[in-house]
Amino acid sequence: MDSSNKYFFLSKIIFITIVLFVSISVITEQIALKKLENFKSLTSPLERVHSKKYEITPIKGSLPILYDSIKNQFYLKNEKGLTKLDNQGNVMFFDDLSNEKSYISTLDYNNFIPFVFTSKGVYDFSGEELVFMPFEKKLNIKNELSNSNFKSIFEKNYNSADLVIYGNEIEDETAQFRIFFRVDNKWILLLSKKGDYNQFRYPETFKKNANTTVQIDYSKFSSKFSNKKLIALKDNQRGLYSAKEKDRNLNNYSTIVLKELKLDYKTTNELKMVALKNKSYYGLPDWMNHTFFKLAYFELNYNKEQLFFKGNTIIYNELANEITNKDFYLFELPKDMRDKTKVAFLDVKNYTGIAVDPRTNYLEPQIENTGIFIIKPINKN
C-alpha cells in the first residue's frame, strides 16, 4: 500500500472508529436520583426553570454584560448592536444593527459605554430609545492636518467635549486611530496622525482590531465618559468578569485605578454541578483523547432559593488526567449594588456532539447554545 493510500485508510479509520453508545449510570453529589426528574432544560421552549420568586430565561445577547449604576439598567452585546434591560430584567429595546452597512465594530463598547460607532455616526443606546446621530464633522480623514493644526483642533474639541472616546481600531489605508468627541450634543470624528501608535496608552491598542478592555487614553488626555461609564459584573468564584477578562488582565492597565478592582463582588449565591449522567462516548484511536459527553445537572442557590436545570457537558482526558469541562458562569453585581436590582446572569455552554472543525481539521466538541440566560424576579402581573 503506497503512502497516499495509507493516509486515506487512516483518515477513514478515525471516523469509522467513532463509536457512540448510551449509558444510564449516574454520578450524584448531595442529591437523590429521583429528584433529577425535576430538573428542566434551559434551552427547551416547553420547560420553564423557576423557583417561588425567580426564573431563568434566555436573553438575546452575549458578553460583555455591563451595568449602568446611575440609571439601574443593563447592556449586553447583540451582534453589531446592543440589548438594553431595565432593573427587573425586562428588555427595554434592542437592535443588532444587522442592516448597518457602514458598521465599524462594537469593540468600542469595551470602553464600557453604551455607544456603537460606525463610519457615518454614532448609535446611542443610553436613552429611552435608540438614537442615531451622524457626525457633525469628520476631520483629518486623509491625514491632511499638520502637527500644529492637529494639536490645536484636538485640544479645542477635547476641552469643549463632555464625552471623549478613543477607538481601538485603525483605518486600513491610512493607519489612523479614531477619536470621537461629543460637543454640545453633536458628534465629531477626528482621525489621529498617521502611525501615531505611541500616543495611545493602552497596550492592546497597538494590535489592529484587538479586543481592548476598559479604557483607552491618548497621550496625556484621558477619556471622558461623563456619567456614561458602565460597570462589569463578575463571577467571583471563577475570577471572571462579564467582559471575558480575568483580574490579572484588567490589572495590566496601569494608567488608572479601575473601579471594578476596588469593588467587593463576594457572594453567598452559588452555581454548582450536582450530578452527571453518562450520555455518550466517542471512542477514538489511542493517540487521540477520549471524550465522554455527560448530561450535567445544576443547582443554583440564589437569594436563599434553589433553581434546578440541566445541560450537556464533556469529560476528556488530558495528560492522563480526567477533566470535566465547567463552562458555566454566574455573573453578579458588586455587593453594594444588589439592593437596587435582583438581576443576575448565567453563561452556560451546551455541548451536543463532536465533529471536524473546518477551521482546524481537528475533531472538536460542538456547542449548540452559547447564549446568555438571565436570572430575574418573576413578574406577578
| pLDDT digit string (tens) for the chain, length 381 residues | 555 554 444 444 444 333 333 343 444 445 666 678 889 988 787 889 999 999 999 998 888 899 999 999 999 999 889 999 999 999 999 999 998 887 665 544 457 889 999 889 999 999 999 999 999 999 999 899 999 999 999 999 999 999 998 876 666 666 788 899 999 999 999 998 887 766 665 534 344 444 444 466 677 788 888 888 899 999 999 888 888 666 655 555 444 456 788 899 999 999 998 888 876 555 544 444 555 667 889 999 999 999 999 887 766 555 555 555 667 899 999 999 999 999 999 998 766 556 666 777 765 655 555 579 999 999 877
Specify whether 82 is located in the same domain as 137: no
- Residue 259 belongs to a domain: yes
Query: Domain end: 183, 210, 226, which one?
Result: 226
State whether 111 and 173 are in the same domain: yes
Of 226, 255, 278, which residue constitutes the final position of a domain?
A: 226
Whether residue 255 is contained in a domain is answered as yes
Tell me, yes or no, whether 306 lies in a domain. yes
Same domain, 221 and 256: no
Locus of grid cell 454614532: 122
For residues 254 and 342, state if they share a domain.
yes
Q: Roughly how many angstroms between the first and final C-alpha of the chain, as a whole number?
A: 73
Taking the C-alpha atoms of residue 219 and residue 275, their distance in angstroms, rounded to an integer, is 53
Q: Is residue 235 part of a domain?
A: yes
Residues 211 and 232 in one domain: no
Helix (H) / strand (E) containing 374: strand 372-377
Q: Are 42 and 311 within 8 A, CB to CB?
A: yes
Flag whether 173 is in a domain: yes
Q: Which helix or strand (DSSP H or E) is residue 127 part of?
A: none
CB 330 within 8 A of CB 298: no
Last residue of a domain, one of 204, 226, 248: 226
In a domain? residue 109 = yes
Residue 232 and residue 377 share a domain: yes
What local confidence, expressed as pLDDT, does residue 276 receive? 82
Residue 177, pLDDT score:
83
Do 132 and 255 lie in a common domain?
no
Q: Find out whether 351 and 293 touch, Cβ atoms under 8 Å.
A: yes
Cell of 187: 458628534
- Output the nine-digit C-alpha cell for 379: 413578574
> Do 376 and 351 fall within a single domain?
yes
- 281 and 369 assigned to the same domain: yes
pLDDT for position 200: 63
Measured in whole angstroms, how far is the alpha carbon of residue 346 from the centre of its chain? 11
Domain that holds residue 125: 101-226
Residues 191 and 270 in one domain: no
9 within some domain: no
Residue 5 lies in a domain: no
Residues 26 and 171 in one domain: no
Measured distance CA(99)–CA(79) in Å, rounded: 11
Residue 181 contacts residue 117 (beta carbons within 8 Å) = no
**Does 83 share its domain with 129?**
no
In the chain, the number of structural domains is 2
